[in-house]
Structure 1
């Protein structure tokens, strides 16, 4: 079950990636990407 959902997530991610090549990313995607890079930087600083 979990493996299947991971697979569907991976597929939808690749689908979004291909669609993103054709048009600019949404503000939501850009914001989440910025939050992710900020969070990872914070974690690296703590280690």
Structure 2
């Protein structure tokens, strides 16, 4: 059975790709993006398989 670890990441709208690419390099996969506390920010939910 696979086990997962999760992280929530604040995304700034002007640097979204760079932030997601950095987390992708760490092995995380994007699950969902939801609105953040203000219009300039989103929150990404990411997961990766536990080692």
TM-score (normalizing by structure 2): 0.27
Considering only CA atoms, is the larger Rg found in Structure 1 or Structure 2? 1
Higher fraction of strand: 2
Name the structure, 1 or 2, with higher relative contact order (CA <8 Å, separation 6+): 2
TM-score in terms of structure 1 length: 0.29
